[in-house]
Amino acid sequence: MAKEKVMVAMSGGVDSSVAALLLQEKGYEVVGATMKLLEDEKTKEMITDAKKVCQILKIEHYVFDLQKEFREIVIQDFIEKYQNGFTPNPCVVCNHFFKFGRFYQEAQNLGIKKIATGHYAKIKDGQLICSKEKNKDQSYFLYAIPKEVLPHVLFPLSDYTSKEEIRELARKANLNVESKKDSQEVCFVPNDDYATFLEKNINTLPDKGDICLKDGTVLGKHKGLFYYTIGQRKGLGISYQTPLYVIRIEKQENKIIVGPNEDLFEDTLIATDLNILVEQMPTTVLAKVRSRGEKAKAKLEFISDNSVRVKFQSKQRAITPGQSVVFYQDDICLGGAIIKEVGGK
């Protein structure tokens, strides 16, 4: 009987390498593949390391050159969102369109029905489940997996809670990646310097404008909207008798609105680009507005097939347009959406 084939997204890092190893040990016929999304030294190193791991495991390795699409879909969205006063999360967009979109299509083109990654989450009975280890759980970034793709996804690291366990497995298998550092920043933003990246990738720098209190009192000038995000306190260049934070970015008026910490708390938001992972979405859920945030009770009011109003039982701090709100029921990830507006009824 032929082994079931699975294509593993290989980044050259320890997580994806061990994912391939574990699937091979479970009896799958494993194929490795790397998406070439950028033309830089880090990408070259990633492809080289992935190829080496595949050679050690004696499996095939493919490289899919998707630079043009990545630039058009992920990087351009990132730039435009910042220009319009949003703070985007490009990893969510990439997961939807590339890691679980184009990658799955490429697997199908090769006659492979299953794909796998080194994410920390679990698929059980066709549902996306949080990782056992709260600090490792990546379901917040995975909610945008297309629902029809979810049954074809494997997360081999789902039962592991310690990175040292993963590194030890790589060490024992002589995969030569056990000491590689985890990648923390956005892959296409060098040194995690968003401002410099945006300056280099837009035609004209943003206009300066006023930094104001809610009552319209002008406290100073901002450098341009994309230099700021909700909750920011440092680098505002203003002085006041109490600490002030960015509480709102007004694109139309080209203003940054600041206020005390208590003004950062809101209980209502509207989100669009809704992705639902379950057959029946409840109207009472747990929700969180940042990956490391706590889940909080909320009620959902569906405005359309693509948008939802979320009303939290208790106010949440620094809800940020452009980021995601993700919905849960216990440890099941139900789906999520991109935050468009904050406040309102």
Structure confidence by residue, pLDDT tens digits, 97-137: 999 999 999 999 999 999 999 999 999 999 999 987 777 88
pLDDT greater at residue 182 or residue 92: 92
Q: Which active-site residues does the annotation give?
A: 94, 187
At residue 252, does pLDDT exceed 70?
Answer: yes
At residue 10, does pLDDT exceed 90?
Answer: yes
3-state secondary structure labels for all residues of 225-255: HHHCCCCCCCCCCCCCCCCCEEEEEECCCCE
CATH number 3.40.50.300 is the correct assignment for the domain at 5-190:
no
Q: Nearest Cα to 107, choosing from 8, 18, 1?
A: 8
**Per-residue model confidence as pLDDT tens digits over 186-234:** 899 998 899 999 999 998 889 999 999 999 999 999 999 999 999 999 9
Give the residue carrying structure tokens 């997360």.
155
Q: Are 273 and 326 in contact (CB under 8 A)?
A: no
CATH number 2.40.30.10 is the correct assignment for the domain at 264-342:
yes
Q: Give the mean pLDDT of 331-339.
A: 97
The token pair that represents 109 in the structure block: 């083109």
Q: Global pTM?
A: 0.94
What's residue 311's pLDDT? Answer: 98
Write down the domain spans for the chain.
5-190, 206-259, 264-342
- The bridge status of strand 5-9 relative to strand 114-116 is parallel
**Residues 6+ positions from 251 with CB-CB distance below 8 Å:** 84, 85, 225
Pick the CATH number of 206-259 from 1.10.1040.10, 2.30.30.280, 3.40.50.300, 2.40.110.10: 2.30.30.280
What confidence category does residue 271 fall into, taking pLDDT thresholds of 50, 70 and 90? very high
Q: Give the mean pLDDT of 168-172.
A: 94
Q: Where are the alpha helices (DSSP H) in the chain?
A: 14-25, 41-57, 67-70, 76-83, 90-94, 103-109, 139-142, 163-172, 194-201
